[in-house]
């Protein structure tokens, strides 16, 4: 729960510190500018609020690892929902309105997470899991999107070291194998999810794991 709050606060602070012109830069998400990514974060925050007030009565069917589904290919931005995001983002006009909405909804999502009972069973995407596992899964979501936010903005604040380490551990659990110790946490996350192509040396260090990459999370 603490890592959720830490990763989410850091990501929102990084967005709040962006200059207006940064919103027109490309993000690490294919086909999305930074403004589109920020708009997606607003929707993510809404999803957190919705899920935490959608209780379930059946036994858990997923945990923080199996919450994630592995897709066959990286998103291209052409999926109907993905394609909608740039239009929604453009409708905000000035970046300050996107910042305001993210701060408003994002703060509410953060408070809801802090108040949630980790053992509470919640339902989302036809899955049932504890609120604790759901929020743990989002540490990976927030950290990956923090890396997406800073992909072409080297001066922007990076994700905290603690959440990078936790996200790496989560990705290794999804992969079913550890990344080489020579990989930094950031490299493991970017290469592991296809956000960056591994160098020849990195591919050699990955060994058999290279054949199962990238892990495209959905």
Residue of higher predicted confidence among 123 and 78: 123
pLDDT score at 146: 98
Q: What percent of the chain has pLDDT over 70?
A: 100
Average pLDDT over residues 172-193: 98
Average pLDDT over residues 73-80: 75
- pLDDT, tens digit, for every residue of 114-125? 999 999 999 999
CA distance 13 to 15: 5
Annotate 55-101 with DSSP letters as a single string: B--SPP---TTTTS-EESS---S-SHHHHHHHHHHHHT-SHHHHHHH
- Residue 148: closest CA among 201, 74, 49: 74
**DSSP code of residue 23:** G
- pLDDT, tens digit, for every residue of 140-158? 999 999 999 999 999 999 9
pLDDT band at 77 (very low <50, low <70, confident <90, very high): low
């Amino acid at each position: 729960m603490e890592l959720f709050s830490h990763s989410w606060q850091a990501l929102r602070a990084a967005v709040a510190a962006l200059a207006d012109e940064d919103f027109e830069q490309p993000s690490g998400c294919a086909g999305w500018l930074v403004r589109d990514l920020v708009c997606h974060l607003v929707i993510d925050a809404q999803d957190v609020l919705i899920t935490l007030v959608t209780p379930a009565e059946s036994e858990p069917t997923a945990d923080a690892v199996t919450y994630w589904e592995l897709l066959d290919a990286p998103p291209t931005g052409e999926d109907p929902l993905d394609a909608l995001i740039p239009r929604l983002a453009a409708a905000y006009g000035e970046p300050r309105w996107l910042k305001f909405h993210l701060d408003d909804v994002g703060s509410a999502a953060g408070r809801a997470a802090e108040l949630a009972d980790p053992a509470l069973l919640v339902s989302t995407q036809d899955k049932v899991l504890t609120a604790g596992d759901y929020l743990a899964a989002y540490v990976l979501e927030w950290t990956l999107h923090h890396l997406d936010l800073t992909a072409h903005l080297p001066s922007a604040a990076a994700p905290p070291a603690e959440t990078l380490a936790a996200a790496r551990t989560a990705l290794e659990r999804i992969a079913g194998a550890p990344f080489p110790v020579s990989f930094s946490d950031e490299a493991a996350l970017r290469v592991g999810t296809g956000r960056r192509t591994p160098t020849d040396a990195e591919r050699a260090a990955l060994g058999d794991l290279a054949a199962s990459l990238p892990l495209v999370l959905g």
